[in-house]
Structure 1
Amino acid sequence: MDLRLKGRTALVTGASKGIGLAVVQTLAAEGVRVAGVARSAVPGAALSITADLSGPEGPAAAVARAREELGGIDILVNNVGGVRSGIAHGESFADLTDEHWQQALDLNLFSAVRTTRAALPALLEARGVIINVSSIGARFAHPPVEYGAAKAALTNLSKALSEELGPQGVRVVTVSPGPTLTENWKGADSMAADLAREAGVSHAEFLAELPRRMGIATRRLAEPAETAALIAFLASPHAANITGADYFVDGGVIKTV
């Protein structure tokens, strides 16, 4: 299917690895000029922007650079996010400090708030689309609790923005991945690797057993390219009347209707 995206411009955050990098590659293959924003270089992007989006200055600076060098912004993919490193097994709500909460909110919520705010004039001019990458953690009661709460706020933000911006021609949708074969799961320093060591099994054994334990109906973790393909479709004119929706890429983990 021709997604009719050739010649458009996208800004993708968290773009140097995992789902973000897959989005950059997928959109670029469709002829999109992509500005990839991350703390390290973004391979395959028409413009690689190095920035820390967890602080108040980074998002506006990244958007300004993208607009200066590539012109307008038709597509914004707020993908940056993640779980903080060093989470202890069995960590409870009472263990979380204000700093833990602020880190989760800055990275998983305010990065999208600030980037969207900076890009909004360009998106309104282009009658563009905002795609927020949330998580099934927004609906799945599972630690780390501060991550799930931040992602739930992002999902809510998407719905609210879709109502406000829809009459002005800007669509807003959410994509919520489940466990995905990125470094967050398969990396030697990942939380999954730590949990495997604590359980006394190999990392490979832990990942092989994970789909059954989590109730993944397809019995496998998702590939980053699968989420990227959905994002590309939602960014395209084929999805022109889709807004306010939240799409799971979780292999059936979320069971509620």
Structure 2
Amino acid sequence: MDLQLSGRVAIVTGASKGIGLAVAQTLAEEGAHVVAVSRTPTGELPGKAVHVPADLMDPQAPARVVARAVEEFGGVDVLVNNAGGPPPGVTLPRFGFMTPDDGDWQAMFEFNLFAVVRMIRAAVPVMVERGGGSIVNVSSTSARQPAAMNVDYGAAKSALNHVGKAVSEEFGAQGVRVNTISPGPVLTDWWTKDGGAADVIGGMAGAAKQDVIDQVAPGMMNLVTGRLVRPQEIADAVALLASPRSGSTTGADFVIDGGFLKEL
């Protein structure tokens, strides 16, 4: 299938690893000009991608990223708001409502909501000027499944879902589509890094890291597929939503979670 992305300009945040890296690679393979945003570069980025170093918790960074995309390629057609999760220096999972303090809540919302709001605010006028575009926000099933774990993270992602729907309503008539992807547990370094989620859960369950990844976590979350989601599975969905082939899809939320969510 030709996704008609050749020559289009795509900004991907959090592009140095995990889902963001898979998205950047996939869009580049489809012929898009990729502006890859992360605090640090990685040698795994596609050779033709332009890396823009940015800390999106800096309120001025999103405008600079969009300006760089315009400078390099003349505009923005696709914005993938993938950066999110634990703010820099924070380890999740975090258990209990009483655990995060005001500073934790503020950092979580700054990274997972306000940074995205600023990226959208910077990109939409450029998209409208070009006749439209596609925004894909990477949220989480935690936004739809409240629990006594990562409460601040889930709340921030719930707010992100609201923002995406609202922006899709306001700017849809001007050609800007906004959709959300809600991954379940994805096999990234959020799980695998030293001191990451697999180590935290393993310490509580008395299990080795690999056993947590292969068995404990899928069982704990009752994943129908029996495994964590692969980053490429998210990237493929992002590419389709970014494509003009999804021209009538806006305001939607696509769940890719291995069967974690059970409700209708």
Please give the TM-score of this superposition, normalised by the length of structure 2.
0.93
Instruction: Output the amino acid matched with 1:218.
Output: T
CA contact (8 A) 1:55 1:106 kept: no
Instruction: Please say if residues 140 and 254 of structure 1, whose CA atoms lie closer than 8 Å, have aligned partners that are also in contact.
Output: yes
Letter in 2 for 1:168: Q
* CA distance in 2 between partners of 1:24 and 1:158 (Å): 21
Amino acid corresponding to residue 184 of structure 2 in structure 1: G
Q: Is the 8 A contact 1:108 1:150 kept in 2?
A: yes
Aligned equivalent of 2:55:
52
- Give the root-mean-square deviation of aligned CA atoms: 1.5
Match of 2:252 among 238, 242, 245: 245
CA contact (8 A) 2:92 2:197 kept: no
Match for 2:139 among 113, 134, 145?
134
Scaled by the length of structure 1, the TM-score of the pair is 0.96
State the match for 1:224 in structure 2.
231
Look up the equivalent residue of 2:49 and give its one-letter code: A
Name 2:18's counterpart in structure 1: 18
Task: Give the deviation of 1:94 after TM superposition.
Answer: 2.0
Amino acid aligned to 2:246: A
Q: Paired residue for 1:173, among 179, 182, 189? A: 179
Structure 1 residue 87, shift from structure 2 partner: 4.9
Q: Give the equivalent residue in structure 1 for 2:127.
A: 123
1:189 aligns with 2:195: yes
Gap runs ≥5 in structure 1: none
Residue type of the alignment partner of 1:138: A
| TM superposition shift of 1:191 | 2.0
Does the 8 Å CA contact 2:12/2:35 hold for their aligned counterparts? yes
How many residue pairs are counted as aligned between the two chains?
A: 257
Work out whether 1:212 is the aligned partner of 2:219: yes
Bigger Cα displacement from structure 2, 45-54 vs 100-109: 45-54
Give the distance between the partners of 1:5 and 1:73, measured in 2 at CA.
Answer: 12
> What is the identity, as a one-letter code, of the residue corresponding to 1:130?
I
Matched, 1:164 2:170: yes
Question: In the alignment, residue 194 of structure 2 is paired with which amino acid?
Answer: A
Partner Cα separation in structure 2 for residue 97 and residue 208 of structure 1: 32
Deviation track 1:162-196 (CA, whole Å, cap 9, x = no partner) reads: 11011111100000111011000122231221221
Please, which runs of 5 or more residues in structure 2 have no aligned partner?
none
Identity over aligned pairs, percent: 48
Displacement of 1:92 after TM fit? 2.2
